[in-house]
Structure 1
Amino acid sequence: MLKAVFFDLDGTLLPMDENEFTKGYFKFLLEKVQGKGYGDPAFFIDTIWKGVYAMYKNDGSMKNEDRFWLAFDEAYKENKSKDKPLFDEFYTNEFKKAKAFTSDNPLARDIVEFCKKNVKHTILSTNPIFPKGGQLTRLSFIGLKEDDFEYITDYSNSIYCKPNPMYFKSLLEKFSLKPEEVILFGNNTYEDGDCASSLGIKTYLVKGYIIYHPKAKGSYQEIEMKDVIPTIEKEIELRK
């Protein structure tokens, strides 16, 4: 039986070129922290990436949030985690301007509503490297909100990141799911495809912004956004 559908966000439900999006929104983040004691902009951006990398390598011994801010504090050699409220404010407010670097997805609402009516669990398995506000703001770009999903991973409720298979394993355990009871829609051959399939989760890649990662070993069926609902219908029938 198909019990759960996992959705990636960036480049999947939310159409975007991730590099263009990141470069664009970093400009807004730099404006937010100007005059707040972060000094050289290049060093600040480099430190952001160090924090992201630390989350990617998280071994499960602490939340991604704590891993990020530990890296930040170490880089600046002072307590920068005191500025969490400043960053939370950014991801709830100014981050909305980053919608300019994304595209609309008029099918997103129908896809999610179909899942909620036909499977037990509809999960947003977006990489948990953002605060909750950052996840919800990006969701709003395609007209979705928090209660459209049973669960949304963010940096404060997660202790792993993709491409670590433990990220998906922790979701399976949280919802008492077996891999064969889940399908994933993503856009990255490595972070979605290899990561999920290593546990036995069937993965589909949504065309438009597929990332063919050089480390990827598997190949995955590619579908158009308009084919997501028919694909879920097919998987429901196959698993009855």
Structure 2
Amino acid sequence: MLKAVAFDMDDTLLSINLSAFIAVFLRDEARLLADISRKNPLSAFAGLVGVLRDLSSNVRDADDARTNRAFFDEEIERRMGIPLTDPVIADAFEFFEREVLPHCNDPVIGARPRAGAHQAVELLLERGMRIALLTNPSFSRSCIECRMAWGDMLDMPFELVTCMENSTRCKPSPRYYLEAIGALGLEPEEVLMVGNDPKRDFPVPDCGIQTAYVGIGSPDRALWSGSMEAFAAQFGLIEERFNERHERGFSKLAQDVSRARNPFQN
């Protein structure tokens, strides 16, 4: 039965122009890399983008158990010759992400709490649900906490916040989801994932985690689809459907959902 709810962050609990944020982040971190290595900024930008692309695409051997942080650091050093683990260099990036990046939330990025997000979290806590923040761990903890602050989430009692430092894969790898759920001491069938990205917030291949979808459209795999405000208002119905799926068997219900729309969808 349902014991915990895991939330995605960007455009789930946090309204944000994510493309604009990533553009600013990459530009400024590439400048740091270029200054440190005395390389052309365009070359540093290309190198950074290449490493992050491979990280996000899970271009790893199956037996590679390195954290995303270790993978990122080692690939930057291998490709660009910059030892990010050097204390002086590490401090420079930490300073940027802790002290400079938080001031980059301009009108274009427009980061703010998503309507209904705080109500949803408060409701779950009142109902005794455990909560976690399963944001894609292609960023450091410092960078993730920057965006959490923009969404007024730093005081939310998440039992786990995934990030580069505590994850070995990125979404939608089932290994990422199973490692996070395992860290909570739970089984996949006890957790509801809430997210807005049909390509990342549903594990591929499926590993038994049900997902409530708060993005555009209504994916067939979704337990429920609607806005975050509707999620808060209809959580009782969502929990009932979650437990119904659990009782009937997730694999059978996946076939049912492909043949009929969710009766609770908005």
TM-score by length of 1: 0.85
Alpha-carbon distance in 2 for matches of 1:94, 1:31? 13
Aligned runs of 1:173-188 on 2, under 5 Å?
173-188=182-197
Give the alignment partner of residue 189 of structure 1, picking from 198, 201, 206: 198
RMSD, aligned CA: 2.6
Tell me the residue number matched to 1:112: 121
Relative contact order, higher structure (CA 8 A, sep 6+): 1
1:66 paired to 2:70: yes
Aligned residue for 1:152, secondary structure, equals coil
Q: CA deviation at 1:185?
A: 1.0
Q: CA deviation at 1:41?
A: 1.7
Structure 2 counterpart of 1:36, which letter? I
Cα pair distance change 1:46/1:133, threshold 3 Å: same
Name which of structure 1's ranges 181-190 and 169-178 shifts more when overlaid on structure 2. 169-178
1:129 paired to 2:132: no
Alpha-carbon distance in 1 for matches of 2:3, 2:151? 25
Structure 2 counterpart of 1:29, which letter? E
1:76 paired to 2:80: yes
Q: CA deviation at 1:67?
A: 0.1
Q: CA deviation at 1:6?
A: 0.8
1:12 paired to 2:12: yes
Aligned runs of 1:30-49 on 2, under 5 Å?
30=30, 32=32, 35-49=35-49
1:224 paired to 2:205: no
Alpha-carbon distance in 2 for matches of 1:9, 1:80? 26
Alpha-carbon distance in 2 for matches of 1:64, 1:43? 22
Alpha-carbon distance in 1 for matches of 2:23, 2:67? 26
TM-score by length of 2: 0.77
Q: CA deviation at 1:33?
A: 5.1
Stretches of structure 2 that go unaligned for 5 or more consecutive residues are 245-266
Q: CA deviation at 1:14?
A: 1.2
Alpha-carbon distance in 1 for matches of 2:96, 2:27? 12
Q: CA deviation at 1:147?
A: 4.8
Name which of structure 1's ranges 63-72 and 5-14 shifts more when overlaid on structure 2. 5-14
Tell me the residue number matched to 2:251: none
The runs of 4+ residues in structure 1 deviating greater than 6 Å are: none
Tell me the residue number matched to 2:256: none
1:155 paired to 2:155: no
Stretches of structure 1 that go unaligned for 5 or more consecutive residues are none
Alpha-carbon distance in 1 for matches of 2:146, 2:195? 19
Alpha-carbon distance in 2 for matches of 1:38, 1:154? 29
Cα pair distance change 1:31/1:70, threshold 3 Å: closer
Alpha-carbon distance in 1 for matches of 2:6, 2:240? 18
Alpha-carbon distance in 2 for matches of 1:103, 1:139? 10
Give the alignment partner of residue 97 of structure 1, picking from 90, 95, 103: 103
Instruction: Give the fraction of aligned pairs with identical amino acids, expressed as a percent.
Output: 22
Q: CA deviation at 1:121?
A: 1.9
Deviations 1:125-149 (A, max 9, x none): 0011111111111001111106531
Cα pair distance change 1:138/1:22, threshold 3 Å: same
Q: CA deviation at 1:157?
A: 1.0
Name which of structure 1's ranges 171-180 and 28-37 shifts more when overlaid on structure 2. 28-37
